[in-house]
A and B are shown apart, each in its own frame.
Chain A
Amino acid sequence: MNNNSMLRFYGWFTLLGLLVGGLVVLAYYKDEYREWKDYQRKFVQEEVRRAATPQLKALAESTPVEVRQILLPELNRVDRCTTCHLAVEDPSYGGYPQPLAYHPQHDQHPFEKFGCTICHRGQGRATTVADAHGGVAHWDQPMLPLQYIQASCGQCHEAADNPAAPELARGQELFETSGCRGCHKLNGVGGNIGPELDKVGTRRSPEWLKKHFLAPADVTPNSAMPPQNFSETNLEAIVLFMLSQTGETAPGYYASMKVIPSADQGQHLFQQKGCIGCHTVAGRGGKVGPVLDDVGLRRSPEWMMQHFRDPQSVTPGSVMPKFGFTETEARALTEFLLHLKERNLASSMPSFMNPVERGREVFRKYGCAGCHGADAKGGVPNPNAKTAEQVPGLLHVADGYTVPQLKARIINGQREINALDPKRPPPPLYMPAWGAVIKDAEADDLVAYLISLKPKGDDVGF
């Protein structure tokens, strides 16, 4: 190799060597610079500024700059939010701008047990603002806007008995009374005209949901769903309830918090476990056990709790079996019995109702109103249906059907709806077959209710 080509080699070697070296330095800088470090330095500055004594100042200055994380193995999460939100547990940072703000009201949900993303969503493992807040491509859980935060309570708690989540409870109430289940399945109960809603909260944004409720066909072309006339506040509530449907079930410890023991829950258990088979309440029930109307005056809550755990331990010789209630269940039942007097049982317990009343509940439970209108009065549009392009009301079914015919009709449904104009697309709404969903006794009650709808006085002149 002559000198000339040697020189050329060294020239190229230097150039490429510098290029590679430069890229390595660039890679190092890019890796070393992370935006969370800026936030941590600002926090340290603030701590130093607040330090009252030199000792405290030295302590503040020695705060390490490092990733902070909350490991939540049971939830399969790692939340690194506290890498930037460093003062969430320090009340003296109340009112500070983000990311240094204090998080109020977290005593019942300590961060080390719950982390952040179980309520706020977003991407806990991420350490950049954009990724962590989750509004990035390929992450389907962006942060929940604060106005909808109650949607997260539903993951661990029953919506209806969490006093801290009134919006969620209202959303659920709207869902159950607006007839949504007539077409949509949720947790396995409902019709199959529309899609299942079990995971709708992770698939849809609040904006999409709002548009969809007001004008379904605008966001889902050819949707069969009729537009819903929700007021502004009801719209927010139903959107919130939809957002709460993530399909995730909280594991272990978290699931045990499902029920906040309440009188409502107690009443539910009271019916479910068949207590009324032996005990009498409000004049109804069995005679084996004592009457319970005034039990709240006779017994202390502690006595009742012990009684639920082991009846013989407080009432030797009692024939009441050990039901094996959990502590939460026992507390809920106790709560119910203590407040028995104030509750209007006749209007709220199916075992106290007649078939027509129960049927009305069935009508409500399965969302029949979604298509047949509130109180079965009809009026829901079904374009191109022969029945005046509406889903028929049910006030006069008693005239057209016998009881067995009506029951068969509910159980078997009707897939093909007669069209007004065969050339136009067939009517989108149809009667699903409810046989697989609805219980036989429920169907009987429902028929009784529908027959009873016939307006009084119609028979005059017969």
Chain B
Amino acid sequence: MTSSFLLHIQPAKVHKHSLKAGYSLGLGLISLYLFLILIGTGVLLMFYYVPSTDRAYNTMKDLQFVVSAGLLIRNMHRWAAHMMVLFVMLHLCRVFYTGAYKRPREFNWVLGVGLFLMTLGLSFTGYLLPWDQLAFWAITVGTSIASYAPVIGPKIKFVLLGGNVVGQESLTRFYALHVIVLPVITLLMVAVHLWRVRKDGGLSRPDEAGDVTEQIPLAQLPTNKSYGLMELARGTTPQVGKNPEDDVFSWPHLVFREILLFLLVAAVVLFLAIFFNAPLEEFANPIHPPNPAKAPWYFLGLQEFVSYSAFWGGVVIPGLLVTALLLLPYLDRKRVGVGRWFARERWIANSIFTVCLLAAIVFTVIGTCFRGPNWGWVEPWQQPPASAESH
């Protein structure tokens, strides 16, 4: 069963280039593994979790104190979730810097951007479920960023929360989104994403002499060879290309590497889960906001933007960024520099992307480490003055 599953979900033969760890860094596969770990641990957590404002927090405490391996599972879920956000972002960067979104992979890039947004959605909806102070205020801040969108912003917030403030309705909605709606959509998109990788001829790689990069009309295919349906692909599939000596069998070359990578991911997640506990603050208290109330880390760049201008930072900039990402393969159409890191022919695109990336990182770091009470500037190595709680 193992071989029939593993060897049917991926091609019998792959190009040697696809196996180079230094090229793909395994980032997509790591993201997939993390997603699978999240599904597994998530189902176990569902056995205990109750999405009620009265009981959710208590189930967190029970997981920690009386459920066998409860804390471990919760920690694994938490850290794997943060890692997935991180690795999906890294995967996106890798695909950009290797020009892998170019023809024929334009649509798979769009799917990938969709999966990135799905990952953020999954992480964000999961953030509320422990119903502690951290959860409550992060979601309060996060959804208020959403409400800055013109016209529909307040509606989006209202629909997400099931009201104007975070309450039982919000918890019910976030729970349903987190455990069924978003995972199912994500799973379907992952399936299409992986299928398109095969349809588009495996991982991107530099064009070689004799590579077919245009779709071959069926009528022109040589008829002295029999084709499987999956082989009727356009682009640089091993079968379509003419360099069979560069192909190797997926078993064992690819599958072994995949197994090793899974073990590595599992080891890292286990290590984090054993030695670092997922945060759990006080029971959610709607009348006692922490100062500052911060969104989850991957939205802190956005929150920092918003602190300058709600409209520009909360709507225009993120809107433009997402639109630019989605349209990218249709704007940057010249098929040069595919399959190589930081190809010099692509220096303009790479520079623009790098500037945006650095800006996002800088703003996220500022929002995470340098912002204290009232969103004022603090240096993380200085202890904030013992806040004299306003009397």
Contact = CB atoms under 8 A, between A and B. Distances in A.
A127 B252 contact: no
Interface stretch (B148-156, B194-202, B266-274): B266-274
A233 interface: no
A356 B267 CA distance: 80
Contact of A16 (B54, B69, B260, B388): B260
Contacts of B280: 138
A236 to B, nearest CB: 22
Given A27-B273, A27-B274, A221 B263 contact: no
A23 B270 contact: yes
A123 B72 CA distance: 21
Contacts of B248: 1
A23 B264 CA distance: 12
B260 A12 contact: yes
B62 interface: yes
Contacts of B68: 31
A6 B257 CA distance: 11
A139 B391 contact: no
A13 B260 contact: yes
A125 interface: yes
Contact of A138 (B72, B260, B274, B281): B281
Contacts of A138: 132-133, 280-282
Contacts of A120: none
Interface in A16-44: 16-17, 19-20, 23-24, 26-28, 30-31
> On chain B, which size bracket covers the interface?
20 to 34
Contact of B271 (A1, A6, A23, A67): A23
A15 to B, nearest CB: 9
Interface in B113-148: 132-133
Interface in A185-232: 194-195, 219-221, 223
A450 B297 CA distance: 61
A128 B66 CA distance: 10
A76 B54 contact: yes
Interface in B89-107: none
Given A16-B260, A67-B66, A125-B62, A24 B252 contact: no
Contact of B72 (A13, A27, A78, A131): A27
Interface in A117-136: 123, 125-128, 131
Nearest to A138: B281
A443 B327 CA distance: 74
A9 interface: yes
A25 to B, nearest CB: 10
B259 A13 contact: yes
Interface string B250-268: 0011001001100110110
Given A13-B259, A13-B263, A19-B267, A1 B65 contact: no
Residue from A27, A30, A78 having most chain B Cβ neighbours under 10 A: A27
Contacts of A128: 65
A128 B277 CA distance: 15
Contacts, number: 76
A220 B263 contact: no
Nearest to A6: B252
Given A16-B267, A20-B263, A139-B282, A27 B69 contact: yes
Interface in B55-100: 58, 61-62, 64-66, 68-69, 71-72
A26 B275 CA distance: 10
A76 B267 CA distance: 39
A140 interface: yes
Contacts of B266: 20
B65 A131 contact: yes
A131 B280 CA distance: 13
Nearest to B259: A13
B65 A223 contact: no
Contacts of A170: none
Interface of A: 1, 6, 9, 12-13, 16-17, 19-20, 23-24, 26-28, 30-31, 67, 76, 78, 80, 123, 125-128, 131, 138-140, 194-195, 219-221, 223
Which 3 pairs between the two chains have the least Cβ-Cβ distance?
A16-B263, A23-B270, A220-B391
28 contacts: A1-B253, A1-B256, A9-B260, A12-B260, A13-B256, A13-B259, A16-B260, A16-B263, A16-B264, A17-B263, A19-B263, A19-B267, A20-B263, A20-B267, A23-B267, A24-B270, A27-B72, A31-B68, A31-B69, A123-B61, A125-B58, A125-B61, A126-B61, A127-B65, A138-B133, A220-B391, A221-B388, A223-B391
Given A20-B263, A23-B267, 20 more contacts: A1-B252, A6-B252, A13-B263, A16-B264, A19-B267, A27-B72, A78-B62, A125-B65, A125-B66, A126-B61, A126-B64, A126-B65, A138-B280, A138-B281, A138-B282, A139-B282, A195-B391, A220-B391, A221-B388, A223-B391
